[in-house]
Structures are given as structure tokens and as C-alpha cells.
Amino acid sequence: QVQLQESGPGLVKPSGTLSLTCAVSGGSISSSDWWSWVRQPPGKGLEWIGEIYHSGTTNYNPSLKSRVTMSVDKSKNQFSLRLNSVTAADTAVYYCSREMTSVTGNPNDFWGQGTLVTVSS
Amino acid sequence: DIQMTQSPSSLSASVGDRVTITCRASQSISTLLSWFQQKRGKAPKLLIYGASSLQSGVPSRFSGSGSGTDFTLTISSLQPEDFAIYYCQQSYSAPRTFGGGTTVEIK
């Protein structure tokens, strides 16, 4: 079964860039599935950040689009998230997830455990 | 963006109770609706997709229904392990918006 693992700095300074990587195991990032990032501020709900296909095609949340970049590294079977010009409002647990394309609606079936990123000086 | 509104935001129930959570979309999303369960400190877990299809491995006491703008998640007989936060999410169009969540607490 597919497993995802987020990694990256847990602390980022304000105005800096948040960079996270999601390593995929048990499946190929070059499959027909999409791969996405979701975040959750402490004590709050879930926010979809965006999604990427192995071809590099992306869809971003318009609320973050000007600051977000996602990429895929097929050789390492992983995908990444960069969020620049961060503020305290970007403090959240960040999850990577697979969007299963084999069923209607491409639901997010597999998730990483999540990683807390705190924006603070 | 499509807005997803869940109700109630929280509820208290006892083991064995039948629990119903609703989710309303701001526009028609056909049946492109998923339900997730999230426990404290854990990632969301997919329960239902396509509004009514049960994800593999999920107990049959969970069921989903609805189409268009109105959807329901039902737990037929609440179990101790079901106390959690439940979220709906639409996948009709980007951004894939979530509902605000429903906390199911022990009565």
C-alpha cells in the first residue's frame, strides 16, 4: 500500500520560504494519480493547498497561488511544496496526500502523518 | 470557490446512537463529495467517496447519501472509536474545499 512521508524544517522565519518534500513509497509517483498538499492550522480546519500530476501540471488554491510552487522529482519518487513570503498565518500541520484517480471524484485516500511548520522569528 | 457548510459544528452522542451529519455545497457538485474522519494528532482518514461509496476497510456502520448540494454522513450505531472530527470535501472543482468540520463528542 502507498505510504507518504513529509519532511522539511519545522521552523521558518517570517518572510522566508517554507519548503517541504513528500516521499512516496509503495507506489509510483508516475502513476495516473494526482498528488496534493493540505494544511491545518492548530485547532482549525483543513485547507487544500493544491495538487500536482507527474507531468508537472498543477492546480493551486487561488488564495495561495501567488506564493505556492509544487514540483515532482520522478527519480526520487517524491514531490515538493514551496510557499514563500510566509507569515504566522502559515503556521500549520502540512499533509501530503494521494488523490486516487481510479474512482469517481479522485478522493484523497492515502495521507502522510503530517508535519508541523511554525513561522516565527 | 465552492463553499461547504457542515452542520452541526458539534454534537454529543452516546455509544449505540444513530448520528447524522449534513454538508451543504454552495452550488451543485453532483456526487463529487468525500467524508473524512480525523482523530486528534492524526491525518484525516477517507470514509466515503462519490457521496455514497464506502472506502475499503471502513466499517459498514458508516454510510453517505446525497447529490447536488445536500449530503449526509450517517453512523448507524456510534462506537467508542468513532468519537472524532468529521469533514466533508468537494472535488467538483478546484480549489477542493472542505467543510468546517463536525466534532462528535461523548455524551
pLDDT digits (tens, 9 = 90+) for A60-98: 999 999 999 999 999 999 999 999 999 999 999 999 999
- What's the mean per-residue pLDDT of chain A? 96
pLDDT of residue A103: 86
Q: Smallest Cα–Cα separation from B63: which of B24, B96, B32, B21?
A: B21
pLDDT at A102 over 90: no
What's the pLDDT at A57?
96
Task: Name the residue among A60, A112, A117, A116 with its Cα closest to residue B44.
Answer: A112
Low-confidence spans in chain B with pLDDT less than 50: none
Q: Is A107 on the interface with B (CB under 8 A)?
A: yes
How far is Cα B74 from Cα B85, in angstroms, rounded to an integer?
Answer: 14
- Residue in A with minimal Cα distance to B55: A109
Locus of grid cell 467543510 = B99
Q: Write the DSSP symbol of residue B15.
A: T
Smallest Cα distance from A83 to chain B, Å? 17
Q: Does B97 touch chain A (CB under 8 A)?
A: yes
Contact assignment for B33 to A48 by CB distance below 8 Å: no
The answer to whether A95 contacts B89, with C-beta atoms less than 8 Å apart, is no
Question: What whole-number distance in Å separates Cα of residue A78 and Cα of residue A4?
Answer: 9
